[in-house]
Amino acid sequence: MTTPTTPTTPQTPEPGAAPATRRTGVLSPAEVSGLEPWVMVVRTIEERQAERGAVRAGLDAVRGFGVTFGTMFKKVTTELYPEVPKVTAPRFHGRHQLNRHPDGLEKCIGCELCAWACPADAIYVEGADNTEEARFSPGERYGAVYQINYARCIFCGLCIEACPTRALTMTNMFELADSDRSALVFDKTRLLAPLTEGMDAPPHPMRLGDSEQDYYAPAPPQDPAPVSGTGPDSRRGSDPGATEPVVPTPSVPAEGAA
């Protein structure tokens, strides 16, 4: 059983007494003489640490100025951009592009996987059905609405990894700055690859085959007949009907046999 404690009341200074002064870290000789030895050791360590901190801060300032003065006397490299365009790496992640098939049909099938993979929610896709009268892609669907908001895009490349038909890739173009935020929203007309020789703008019928299988998974070319001495039968000569030599296997004696 615990005994109740009596609450302590704050002590009030006596009338006519001098006001209490705030203690500082400096002790008088009388106070120092009355301290325990271990207290003196602790205070000595703290004083040394404070001195080392002050020295370290001074050295850091000297190092900082050393970097500044060292850079002042180096040759200045001037980039002549935009007069001289900057050369980017071959696999640079720049502006996106919606690719086409060799006949001009779009590779995008409106699956919206790129929009789901985007961590910045910068892609918006609406799919629609193809018809024989208006065909934009070889499959059943195509991307009717496709938008990328470059005010949100972080150019991570996850969208092109998620695309199952390689319809979306990234180019080396990086000049996307604009003073109007609405101009940073690229629609399908600005993202589609330009038409090259042999391409026609959709909609139009499929020209590379009768089904989408001919576009996405064409039949592999047949291998020519092996030449005598170079094919899989070369080790057996030119006779394709030759058989492998039979290698006899050692017989295993039955259990219990002498």
Domain ranges of the chain: 36-70, 96-215
Write down the pLDDT at residue 179: 92
Write down the pLDDT at residue 56: 81
Report the alpha-carbon distance of residue 35 to residue 194 in Å, rounded: 87
Instruction: Tell me the residue length of the chain.
Output: 258
Residue 198 and residue 102 in contact, taking contact as beta carbons nearer than 8 Å: yes
CATH fold label, 96-215: Alpha-Beta Plaits (3.30.70)
Report the alpha-carbon distance of residue 60 to residue 55 in Å, rounded: 9
Write down the pLDDT at residue 236: 40
Report the alpha-carbon distance of residue 101 to residue 139 in Å, rounded: 12
Each residue's pLDDT tens digit, 42-89: 566 677 777 777 778 878 888 888 888 888 888 888 888 889 988 899
Report the alpha-carbon distance of residue 90 to residue 172 in Å, rounded: 8
Report the alpha-carbon distance of residue 159 to residue 114 in Å, rounded: 4
Report the alpha-carbon distance of residue 201 to residue 206 in Å, rounded: 12
Write down the pLDDT at residue 12: 57
**CB-based contacts of 38, cutoff 8 Å, min separation 6:** none
The secondary element (H helix, E strand) that includes residue 216 is: helix 213-216
Write down the pLDDT at residue 29: 58
Q: Quote the pTM value.
A: 0.57
Report the alpha-carbon distance of residue 115 to residue 124 in Å, rounded: 6
Report the alpha-carbon distance of residue 147 to residue 123 in Å, rounded: 6
> For each successive 10 residues of the chain (258 residues), what is the average pLDDT?
53 55 54 55 68 79 82 85 89 94 94 96 95 91 96 95 95 92 95 94 91 78 54 42 46 50
Write down the pLDDT at residue 235: 41
Write down the pLDDT at residue 115: 96
